[in-house]
Structure 1
Amino acid sequence: MNVLFLVADDLNSWMLEDADRYAGKVVAPNLRKLASSGVNFTRAYTAAPVCSPSRTAFFSGVAPWKTGIYNNAQIINESEALNQDAVLSLAGLFKKSGYGTYGYGKITHGWDQKEHWDDKVGHKRDPAPPGAPLAKLSGGEQDWGPIHLTEEQMNDTGGANKAIAVLEKKHDRPFFLAYGSFNPHMPWYVPKKYFDMYPLDQIVLPELKDDDLDDLPPLAKAVSNGIGSFADKVIRSGKHKEAVQAYLATTTYVDTQMGRVLDALEKSPYKDNTIVVFLTDHGFHLGEKHHWQKTTLWEEGTHTLLMFRAPGVTETGGVSQRFVSLLDIYPTLAELCDLTPPATIDGRSLVPLLKDPMAPWQSTAITGLCHKTKTDLAYISIRHELGRYTRYGADEEEFYDTTKDPHEWTNQVDDPEYAATVKKLRALVPGFEDAAQPLPSALTQKRRGNPKKKRRNSSVLLNHENKPNRRTYHESLHSKPPFTPNSVKIDQRNHGTRRFGPAPIGGPFRTGSIRQRQVTRWANRRGWASQMADACVGSRIPSSRTGCRLRLLPASDRCPCG
């Protein structure tokens, strides 16, 4: 059996529901078709409600409460649980078993080495449109609006193209093919036609309760953005409907790209011997509980999409309402492909539910999280038929009777009526002594080196084949870097730095990309990419944010430093 592994970022579980929660029926024909072609798990939950730990969990098969990876700021390589020889990534298991392994787009944070993949091209953000921020509420990623690129120039489109190319090839061995969309992660920049599908007068906003956070323990309030947050800013600005419109527009763009890959599978000779799994890494708040984005242990942050189609195993139209976890994906694919997973993995195989969606099942829907900087405690939540129980710290808990209170507005943890239920659910989550303490946050660690030492300029050379040079260069202003024809040179002149997003695959100059780890702390995220698509050959473009300059060098030019 082959495997087609599809994952989207920040995609809400309600997009396939007919509940008219926001804007009638979300335009997602391709994912609806996939959901009806196999088993749709309507109560699937992430192991961590934020990108890196969620993906680390489902890709390694090891839970956050064992790895200590609960948030984006923690460094995966520092986890003792993941450094054991027995640990094997999902792609690594398939490669070790003789499969060809291919990964395109946003699949994991890290795990890019050859031990996992035969071919791997990571994700990139599309450049911000000229004039950004378009919503005029915040800089950085908290923005939305029509993009200036064509759909063919967008990076998620380019990733889908690569996945399609694999499906169009002839293979002499089984394959594990993964495609992940960066969207609908913010910022929400997609072509205007997708915005036009969602008229503002048809947007229905989420219900809000002014005193929603009053009954939360202190640590839970620290997790929520709360009053005065970006969510509150969006609501007070009168642009809440515009924000929801942009989110919905971006989800439909994602559905289009997933549909292109699925159509390629249908047209290929691998249609009848390929397992398809689609998932989202976590949920997304659009103002519910006065919160924006993810990183909460409430329903909006933890509930995900998950669907399987397995030839000879699943039947069409299957719906399972059992509470399952994204951790269950690893053992499920291993069993379906008759592979032996490492003993280190958590989760349980979903094969019994693929055969009978209503088979007996004990909830595996446990989620872990920690504060971005205060990493002394692991917060643990479980979603169960009895409701949702969450433990933040000693005597700091939540319980919601989700049957009566689907919005999780009333914390009933101290209500005597629910004492027995709370006691039962408390026993189902890892205890304080069992849950791994969160690893230290990189945000609080001191920078290495002498802070008084003047920073050197950094240069990066990229070629026109959409591939970075495999070496990176830290150099003084007048040193001579290697000559690379047809390259973009980014010259950073002693400015404070973070990371940046390169121009798109398929863009006017096919500028390629750099892996995220290589650019960390080198250039501001929006230092140059916003104007790259409009650059002329040989022209210099000053950045409005960092002072960086870039130059596209035709093949006949020599490096200006050389």
Structure 2
Amino acid sequence: MKRILLTIMLMVSAICVTRADAANERMNVLFLVADDLNSWMLEDADRYAGKVIAPNLRKLADSGVNFTRAYTAAPVCSPSRTAFFSGVAPWKSGIYNNAQTINKSEVLNRDDVLSLAGLFKKSGYDTFGYGKITHGWDQKEHWNEHVGHKRDPAPPGAPLAKLSGGEQDWGPIHLAEEQMNDTRGADKAIAVLEKQHDKPFFLAYGTFNPHMPWYVPQEYFDMYPLEQIVLPELKEDDLDDLPPLAKAVSDGIGSFADKVVETGKHREAVQAYLATTTYVDTQIGRVLDALEHSPYKDNTIVVFLTDHGFHLGEKHHWQKTTLWEEGTHTLLMFRAPGVTKAGGVSERFVSLMDIYPTLAELCGVTPPAYIDGRSLVSLLEDPQAPWESTAITGLCDKVKTDLAYISIRHELGRYTRYGADEEEFYDTTKDPHEWTNEIDNPKYATTVNNLRTLVPGFENAAHPLSSALTRERRETKKVKKKGE
């Protein structure tokens, strides 16, 4: 009997030790990001969701928590990535578009500002980055290995679509799939997952696609027969009720978007976008499969996001750089072993700014005190948990870069302010296309006033922290003088 009791006690002790080891094991991170990928695969199945061939992303979404109302902090590549990778929002850094010089940002160049890679490296992780992860702002010394993105060369005879040169083109690429840069980036990420690691790792892989131009192998175009393409709904007078600055953001009547539609190329363009989306899904799938077959599958957090949305003609606009749903709505998926459950769907309004504090909490590392956003862990545990919206997006004027535009996406709708006076409000519960600007409708006066209070530091234009930083430095100098 004593032997039996001793055996049982040893077994219980072994189980406790195993559980303790598992609890103390530091989680790895697989950080996946796609460029310019919109949220069509979240839309009504009768329109786009069933038409977008993305089995790997759907599988990932079903394996954890899929955030269906996630929004970018900036609808442009560089400021969006700078924001979610630094933890500093555009209305604090002053970085709202690609043309701005990031090294002039007082906030981003402070010594205590750490990129996500920097945070994890400082916390004892090995860090690897392949492809398009950041854009313009990075701390390259914080990567063990970092290989940035490159565009694939244009096919002979480009532009193939014969509508425009440069980015705005599409057609079959002349390269074999294994020669494409996004494929090679996936190869490098897979190689990391196939290695033996004696330290936890932060592995980031980003695709350049579906950024324009859309050049992918013919087989991806063949997956989308032209006659089956579903086009976005367009409204000819969609700009009539917009204030002047908003009309300027749209590119307006006669834009490239209108040219695509009027020349009968719209269906062809959407086909190319979807083909490129499926190519991206294939590369993401290869990396996820490598994780699944690695020894790290049970202790690796996976997050997938898109840097912003993408217009395909809506509001007479093409690509991004707007504050409407098409430009700001993103994909965001998390799978965290021991935290998330398969099939989780959260309809809470969240921001890509929330990624930084979430990963920090999940991995037990301490984030810098300055970061914006809030940890999503409560929603990962319970997708329907109470939550106050944090979905704020910033943009600046194309010419006057010190003139900030701010949009609030909320359960109450979308409120946007351009400069000091021009505004929009959409009741998105009744008007998901944002076709009718209700800013002057007295029915929504209370709602609009409530949303106005959520605009962050607007009065300080594109540099709302400048005065705060000045005050901070003055206080620091005072303290030093007292100590001298």
TM-score over 0.5 for the pair: yes
Alignment correspondent of 2:14:
none
Q: Deviations over 1:393-452 (max 9, x none)?
A: 22200000001100000000110000000000010111433553399xxxxxxxxxxxxx
Q: TM-score when scaled to structure 2?
A: 0.89
1:365 aligns with 2:413: no
Distance in 2, Cα, partners of 1:419 & 1:112: 43
Q: Is the 8 A contact 2:415 2:425 kept in 1?
A: yes
Q: Give the partner amino acid of 1:315.
A: K
Equivalent position SS for 1:257: helix
Q: CA deviation at 1:83?
A: 1.2
User: Of the candidates 378, 384, 392, which is equivalent to residue 404 of structure 2?
Assistant: 378
Q: Give the partner amino acid of 1:201.
A: E
User: Of the candidates 185, 210, 215, which is equivalent to residue 189 of structure 1?
Assistant: 215
1:56 aligns with 2:82: yes
Q: CA deviation at 1:16?
A: 4.1
- Structure 1 or 2: more helix by fraction: 2
Q: Is the 8 A contact 1:144 1:186 kept in 2?
A: yes
User: Of the candidates 289, 297, 306, which is equivalent to residue 271 of structure 1?
Assistant: 297
Q: Is the 8 A contact 2:255 2:317 kept in 1?
A: yes
- Higher RCO by CA contacts (8 Å cutoff, separation 6 or greater): 2
Q: Is the 8 A contact 1:23 1:203 kept in 2?
A: no
User: Of the candidates 205, 211, 214, which is equivalent to residue 237 of structure 2?
Assistant: 211
Q: CA deviation at 1:377?
A: 1.0
Q: Is the 8 A contact 2:33 2:205 kept in 1?
A: yes
Alignment correspondent of 2:262:
236
The total of aligned residue pairs comes to 439
User: Of the candidates 123, 133, 142, which is equivalent to residue 97 of structure 1?
Assistant: 123
Alignment correspondent of 1:406:
432
Alignment correspondent of 2:69:
43
RMSD, aligned CA: 1.3
Distance in 2, Cα, partners of 1:289 & 1:224: 6
Q: Is the 8 A contact 1:375 1:437 kept in 2?
A: no
Structure 1 stretches of 4+ with a deviation exceeding 6 A read none
Q: CA deviation at 1:302?
A: 0.1
Q: How does 1:411-422 map to 2 (within 5 A)?
A: 411-422=437-448
Alignment correspondent of 1:332:
358
Alignment correspondent of 1:540:
none
Distance in 1, Cα, partners of 2:420 & 2:461: 14
Q: Give the partner amino acid of 1:361.
A: W
1:223 aligns with 2:249: yes
Q: How does 1:454-465 map to 2 (within 5 A)?
A: none
User: Of the candidates 3, 19, 32, which is equivalent to residue 45 of structure 2?
Assistant: 19
Alignment correspondent of 1:200:
226
Alignment correspondent of 1:176:
202
Alignment correspondent of 2:481:
none
Distance in 1, Cα, partners of 2:261 & 2:282: 29
Distance in 2, Cα, partners of 1:368 & 1:435: 11
Distance in 2, Cα, partners of 1:316 & 1:82: 37
Distance in 1, Cα, partners of 2:232 & 2:284: 27
Distance in 2, Cα, partners of 1:63 & 1:357: 24
Q: How does 1:458-497 map to 2 (within 5 A)?
A: none
Alignment correspondent of 1:289:
315
Distance in 1, Cα, partners of 2:328 & 2:251: 16
User: Of the candidates 425, 447, 454, which is equivalent to residue 428 of structure 1?
Assistant: 454
User: Of the candidates 118, 143, 154, which is equivalent to residue 117 of structure 1?
Assistant: 143
Alpha-carbon distance change, 123 to 438 in structure 1, aligned in 2, over 3 angstroms: farther
Q: Is the 8 A contact 2:71 2:330 kept in 1?
A: yes
User: Of the candidates 350, 354, 371, which is equivalent to residue 345 of structure 1?
Assistant: 371
Q: Give the partner amino acid of 2:257.
A: A
Q: TM-score when scaled to structure 1?
A: 0.77
Equivalent position SS for 2:280: helix
> Structure 2 stretches of 5 or more lacking a match?
1-26, 466-484
Equivalent position SS for 2:279: helix
Which has the higher mean CA deviation after the structures are superposed, 367-376 or 195-204? 367-376
Distance in 1, Cα, partners of 2:84 & 2:35: 14
Distance in 1, Cα, partners of 2:360 & 2:258: 44
Q: Is the 8 A contact 2:403 2:462 kept in 1?
A: no
Q: Is the 8 A contact 2:128 2:143 kept in 1?
A: yes
Alignment correspondent of 1:503:
none
Q: CA deviation at 1:158?
A: 0.2
Alignment correspondent of 2:326:
300
Q: Deviations over 1:257-308 (max 9, x none)?
A: 0000000000000000000000000000000011000000000000000000
Distance in 1, Cα, partners of 2:139 & 2:84: 17
Distance in 1, Cα, partners of 2:83 & 2:139: 17
Alignment correspondent of 2:470:
none
Q: How does 1:478-557 map to 2 (within 5 A)?
A: none
Which has the higher mean CA deviation after the structures are superposed, 191-200 or 10-19? 10-19
Q: Is the 8 A contact 2:406 2:455 kept in 1?
A: yes
User: Of the candidates 57, 72, 75, which is equivalent to residue 98 of structure 2?
Assistant: 72
Q: Give the partner amino acid of 1:121.
A: V
